[in-house]
Amino acid sequence: SQTIHQWPATLVQPVGSPLSLECTVEGTSNPNLYWYRQAAGRGLQLLFYSVGIGQISSEVPQNLSASRPQDRQFILSSKKLLLSDSGFYLCAWSPFTNTEAFFGQGTRLTVV
């Protein structure tokens, strides 16, 4: 069966520090991969999605970036965090376009 792992679960980082969140999927190949952010009490904002290794599409311009160095690995990064980057970050995958997306457990990031 397929599983998605996302870590860390919680993170407290000072303003201006770098960020690296990692997500891996097991039990499938060539998944679509997504990064979403959920601010407190708000909806799911799509940040990045990827349909293959090295293929990254950005939905919202910001100081975040994403990379897909391996087929089932998706990384969210920032060189310098802002206070506004605080939120709940969710990685998700789907087997192909237009089917159910499966979410990771999320990372609660607090920038202080």
Partner 1 sequence: GENVEQHPSTLSVQEGDSAVIKCTYSDSASNYFPWYKQELGKRPQLIIDIRSNVGEKKDQRIAVTLNKTAKHFSLHITETQPEDSAVYFCAASKDTGNQFYFGTGTSLTVIP
Q: Indicate whether 1 belongs to the interface with partner 1 (CB under 8 A).
A: no
Q: Indicate whether 26 belongs to the interface with partner 1 (CB under 8 A).
A: no
Among 5, 16, 30, 42, binds partner 1 (CB under 8 A): 42
> What residues does 35 pair with on adjacent strands?
48, 91
Residue 33 burial (CB count, 10 A): 28
Per rule CB under 8 A, count of chain residues that contact partner 1: 23
Q: Indicate whether 58 belongs to the interface with partner 1 (CB under 8 A).
A: no
* CB-based contacts of 14, cutoff 8 Å, min separation 6: 81, 111, 112
Give dist(CA 12, CA 53) in Å, integer.
29
Task: Note the residues at the interface with partner 1 (CB under 8 A).
Answer: 32, 34, 36, 42-44, 46, 49, 51, 57, 59, 90, 97-106, 108
